[in-house]
Structures are given as structure tokens and as C-alpha cells.
Amino acid sequence: MTGNPARGEGGRVPGKLIVVEGVDGSGKSTQIRLLEKWLERLGLRVFFTEWNSSEAVREITSGGKKKELLTPTTFSLLHATDFADRYERKIYPLLRANYIVLCDRYIYTAYARDIVRGCQPGWVKKVYSFALKPDTTFYFRVPVETAMNRILTGRSRLKFYEAGMDLNLSSDSYESYRIFQGRIVEQYESMVRRERFTVIDATQNIETQQRLLREKVAPMLTPYLIKKKAGNVEAVEHGR
Amino acid sequence: MAAEMQAGSRCMNFYGDGIAYLRDLPVRGRFIVIEGPDGSGRSTQVEALTSRLESDGHAVLNTGLKRSELVAKGILRAKQSTPLGNKTMTLMYAADLADQIEHKIIPALEAGTIVVADRYIFTLMARSAVRGLGRKWLSSLFGFALVPDMVFYLDVTPSELFYRAFQKYSALDYYESGADMGVSGDLYESFIIYQKRIATQFRQMEKSYSMIRIDGNKTIEEVGAELQEKVGTFLGAL
């Protein structure tokens, strides 16, 4: 696989797929929302989707979480079901229709979490092998402590699976969360080169990070903007 | 390892990668699967085999598709609302099976129970394959599944299946007649084409998954006798 074009089992598509990845509290959701605002202002067709948001699947997953029924395998399969539903009905058809698709978390979240939970890496990758590779994946690198402080501000407790309590890392949920997030970070770091992540230093201020995102995305927009007026191209070049 | 194991116990065998964290668990029970389309007499045979095994003094657990605490209701709800994509549906059924394998089948096998499953991964693979999903993807996805000791396939000709289905329900099941695939506007034709394709999938899996094919066109008694004799021989030889 060379160059940018998104490829997978379905072959090439005209649209662009942009993904943000990183641990909770890395600031990735804020950044992708700001990117969406910018693309919308440029008058482009944008679709945003986030992890674990399929209506058909969410009830099952949240029921399983509430009752603490999930094992690493069922946890993985339900998230794969959620992803497949959004992929089959939204992401893939919209990429075919030349949309810019923005994903808050993508298959790399599954790779990281499922492998940390003890699923076989080869199996997890095969399950998600139908998914097109993104044109760009921004990885928000942040020290675990910083991310934790951001997440825990204004919250009194962590949820069971969120804290990785199913892994029996520690009986203290904060300690468990710290260890769990640390392992997720290790997984992300191991993917940086192989999956060609664009690493964003997420300790920088929000405006700086957003400028970096826009600079990276701008060249992808040329085909969309050819038919639009010159003023737009200028706005793209200046990331406004 | 051998020293810790009780008599008759052995490690579980999985088709591929998946539930790696359970690989070395010793089990003593046996796992029997009965596959076949609706109208093949499958459920009747599961029931007959179960009572036969119980009367012989074995503890038996029945399982099947859509019977997990985790996913079953979700599948039913999902089927009633917006039609889901093929990959989504397959993954949801896979989650249902994985939940049952981990929470019902494996604990039962550890306790020495005989598990009799009314359908298993083979139905799911056949259904998904005829709807265009890749064989390789399907077999690695179901790599988490436990290898059964015996897999029976009740083979019934499509026209006989149609007759039985209609006699029983006076209607045809939407998915079981492949109506979602749009192969034909004529429901009879659609049913026949669909069931033929499913049967072809089963034939292709027969060897690699060591399935025992039984002619399901015969009477309930004849099929039951053949099936129970084979199970009896297997259990007796242990």
C-alpha cells in the first residue's frame, strides 16, 4: 500500500477519511470538532461519526456493561458490530459519495483496547480487515497523567470498563485506570510508524494543535475546491 | 499439566485465534452440534437426543443461536427496526455465540456436561457467505469458537423444506427464504434458490469441519435412530 488513497476490501473511494486517535482526555474530540466547523464553513460535505454510537448496538453494549457481563472477546465483538453498522450504513457509502468523513476513534482504538484486554492481535486485525485505511490519522500524544487530570476534573468516579477494572489490574479504580491507559498508550505508540500516524503533541494549546491539523488536511481539499471560488482556496491555505 | 488434570479431562480446542485467555482450561464434557435449515427436523432431533442422553444418565445443556443473555434481545430488536448490514448482523450473532461459549458452554463442559447445540457457527458462516461475505474473513472471525466433538448436518432437499415450512407455519420466514437478497420476486423460487445456495455452502464446509451428513428427508424416527446411534458409539468408545 502506497500513498494516501483509502483502500480496503472495497477498493478505492473518492472521499477522504480523516481519523483522530488517542487516550481519553487527549483533546482529540475537541480538535476534530473544530476541524469539522472549518470544513463546514468552506462549504464541504462533511460527515462526523464517533466510536460506540450505533443506535442498533448501543443498547446491547450498555446493557452488558451495566451488568458487567462483557469478556474481552464479547467486548471486542460488540464494538466491532457497532463499527460495522456505522461503516456499512454511513462511512463507506459516504466515502463512495465523495464526502469527507471524520471519525473520532477508528479501528486503532479497537486494536489498542482489545489487545490490552488479551485478544489475539491477528484475530482483532482480521475482524476489522474490511475497513478502509484512513487518508490521515492524527494521534494525540499526551502524558497519561495529563490526560487523567483532564478526564477526572469534575468527575467523582470512573466506570467499570472505562477504568479497565475487568482486567484485575488493581482494586483501586484510579490506579487501574492509570495502568490501563498506560498500556493503551504503549499500543498506540507501537502503531505510530506502521499505521503512519501523524503525531500531534497534545500538550500544546488548542489553537496551535488545530493549526497543525488544518495544515495537514488542506492539501487534501484541492479536488473539492477546484469548482469553488478563489476566496475559498485562500481561506484553506491560511487555515481560516 | 497432565498431573493436574482429572481422568477424562483435556484442553479445549479452538478453531483459530480468539479466546486465547481460556486456551488451557481443562474440560470433561462433550460438545455436540446439530445443524440444518428450518424444517430439517433439527429442533425435534435436539430434543430427542437430549432426552435420550438424560435417560442414559448424562447431564445435558441445550444451546442455540440468539440465546445469550448479552445479545439475544438486541438481535430481535435490531431485526424489527432498520435492516442491518450483513457484516453487522454476522458480528452481532458472533457476539451472541461468544457470550454463550464463555458463559454457558465452557462452564458446562468443565463440569462434565454434554452440550447439545441447535445450530452453531456453520449456519452463520453459510448465511453470511451466500450474502457475499468472504470465506476467509468468516473463518478467522469464528476462530474464537470451540471445536465440537461431533457436528451433524441434516440435509433436506429444498422442495421438501418448502413443503414442511409451509405445512407448519402456513408462511415462509423472510430471511430463511432469502427475501432480503432479492434473488427472485417469486417467493417459492427465491426460497428454493436460497436453500440450494445454503446447502452448497454446507457441502463445501463438510470436509474441513468434519461434519456428519444425515439424510434429513427420512422420517423423524429414522433420522433420530441414525443420529443417536452415532452419538452412542462415540460416547461408548471414550
Burial (0-12, 13-18, 19+ Cβ within 10 Å), B188 = middle
**Coil, helix or strand at residue B216:** coil
Compute the average pLDDT of residues A16-45. Answer: 96
The whole-angstrom distance between residue B54's C-alpha and the CA centroid of its chain comes to: 21
By Cβ distance, the residue of B88, B94, B102 closest to A88 is: B88
| Whether A57 and B85 lie within 8 Å, measured CB to CB | no
Q: Is the pLDDT of residue A227 over 70?
A: no
C-alpha–C-alpha distance, residues B193 and A176, integer Å: 54
**Nearest C-alpha neighbor of B85 from the set A53, A91, A48, A52:** A91
pLDDT of residue A42: 95
Contact at 8 Å (CB) between B118 and B34?
yes
pLDDT of residue A2: 36
Domains of chain B: 31-209 (3.40.50.300)
By Cβ distance, the residue of B18, B77, B91 closest to A80 is: B91
- From B19's Cα to the closest Cα of chain A, the distance in A is 6
pLDDT of residue A231: 56
Domains of chain A: 16-231 (3.40.50.300)
Q: Which residues of A touch B (CB under 8 A)?
A: 9, 54, 56-57, 59-60, 63-64, 67, 69-74, 77-78, 80-81, 84-85, 87-89, 118-120, 122-123, 126-127, 129-130
Q: ipTM more than 0.95?
A: no
Is any Cβ of chain A less than 8 angstroms from the Cβ of B19? yes
**Using a CB-CB distance cutoff of 8 angstroms, which residues of chain B are in contact with residue A80?**
91
Name the residue of chain B whose CA is nearest to A68's CA: B70
By Cβ distance, the residue of A84, A122, A126 closest to B87 is: A84
| CB-facing half-sphere around the CA of B18: CA atoms within 13 A | 27
H-run or E-run covering A190: helix A173-191
Compute the average pLDDT of residues B113-118. Answer: 98
Q: How many CB atoms lie within 10 A of CB A65?
A: 17
C-alpha–C-alpha distance, residues B130 and B203, integer Å: 13
Q: Of the given ranges (A151-160, A214-223, B42-51), which has the lowest mean pLDDT?
A: A151-160
